[in-house]
Amino acid sequence: MPSITDEYPEYGRTGKLDTLRATEYGYLDEQDHVYLDYTGAGLAARSQLQAHRNRLDGATFGNPHSESPTSRAATDLVDRARRRVLLHLNASPEDYHVIFTPNATGAAKLVGEAYPFARGSRLVLTADNHNSLNGLREYARRAGSKTRYVPLRPKDLRIDTEAVVEALGRRRPWPLSRPSKRPRPRGLFAYPAQSNFSGVRHPLRWIKLAQDAGYDVLLDAAAYLPTSPLDLSTVNPSFVIASWYKVFGFPTGVGCLVARRDALARLARPYFAGGTVQAATVAVPWHALAPAEAAFEDGTLNYLSIPDVHAGLDWVSAIGMDTIATRVRCLTGLFIDRLLGLRHGDGSPMAVLYGPAGTESRGGTVAFNLLDARGRLVDERLVAQESGRARISLRTGCFCNPGAGEAVFGIAASTLRPLVSQKGGTFDDFLRMAHLPTGGAIRVSFGVASTCGDVDYFMDFATKTYKDRVTSAEGLAPRPGC
């Protein structure tokens, strides 16, 4: 079999990642794991875990909402982490604030609940969105705003820029009688820099396109940041959301809302909490929010874990994002090539790919289904069971991205409308009523510790387990949902 460097010679420049796999990520081989779910979560290097232990052994930290020595020590490290996030994103502290959240979902929720949706304003979403962004439509609906979706191309799961332009609509001229006042945004445009379903990378130029049309822009960077730099000095979204465990594995429970100062000032929180106010009274219903980030960080921050974001960013920066990106791109290409080359004994394909078949403008996430000897989709629950027994960690299901799944299986709105009125039933009942062949797909994704051996192992597993086999869903547990 040809070497990966025959097809992807640049892979040879990423050799130091093989050394790190054997040392910093050596627990994978020691525990006999093949990890193929980097879109679900990154992996932590041993050095990151040691840095956490060293920090806690070397100092004492307390609740940041005080001026005691332990509180001051915690506050200083949290502030250092904010600056490190801005440095990683090449964002000026004069332009952006960093708000720590539990995850990217929590960051999206902060924007949704506080955004000035109103009758006449709009929420524009791409059909390719995680449910964390789809859920924004509930805030828009309650405020009387309309939601518009930009459709996907079913074949490659990309979105035409012309469709984005059409969905945003033309910008209405601002009255010349008010030249000194900033126009009120027409609404919010939210989309992922990289799809968590297919790995498609949607153009960052849409940010300026939407801003020129009068919109604020929320960029979901959760799946993008693990293998790509994001330069906020060249693209200027109003809001960026991220989960840091997806980038470097540790800590979990820490994400970010990175917000432009002018956009953050337009948000109006419907809630206040401990730590978010300068003062509040009970005798009369009054409160004054704290300035900047503090107004959005409810309660006590995760001050023992937030400094690990600094350590994690130092770690991936020392490796080099270009090195990680090259490794992931080459392995993604190799995986797709070999996946599409799998054949049953009669020459029929063993897999169907969802999304681009090449590596251009895509990340290291590959969605697909396996086909049995009769050409039917192998139930993703069966693949989950059998890959688990083979010590492979991958994802199956719809990945909280219903729009991509609807595009893949050709589900029209006319099919879905009758289902909305259905009450009760299970997710499997929904699949039967929608005439869907399965409950989703299989997703494999690559990251910093991935190797050619991981690809080889999966292909060997798929061939030995499913070649010339007729499969059945009989006996599989019901799906809990999507």
Which residues belong to the active site?
A: 400
Residue 329 structure tokens: 């791109």
- Collect all residues with Cβ–Cβ distance below 8 Å to 152 and sequence separation of at least 6: 126, 127, 128, 158, 159, 403, 404, 407
Closest CA to 445 of 129, 127, 41, 132: 41
- The angle at the Cα of 91, spanning 89 to 94, to the nearest 5 degrees, equals 160
Residue 61 structure tokens: 């930290």
Q: Which amino acid is at 321?
A: M
Beta strands in 275-405 (DSSP E): 277-281, 286-289, 351-354, 365-370, 392-393, 395-397
Give CA separation, 1 vs 6, 404, 453, 461, in Å.
10, 34, 13, 17
Beta strands in 121-269 (DSSP E): 122-126, 146-150, 187-192, 215-220, 239-243, 255-260
Give CA separation, 440 vs 244, 370, 431, 459, in Å.
26, 11, 10, 20
Instruction: Give the dihedral of Cα atoms 363, 21, 310, 50; nearest 10 deg.
Output: 160
- The 3-state DSSP class for residue 93 equals coil
Beta strands in 283-429 (DSSP E): 286-289, 351-354, 365-370, 392-393, 395-397
Q: Are 124 and 150 in contact (CB under 8 A)?
A: yes
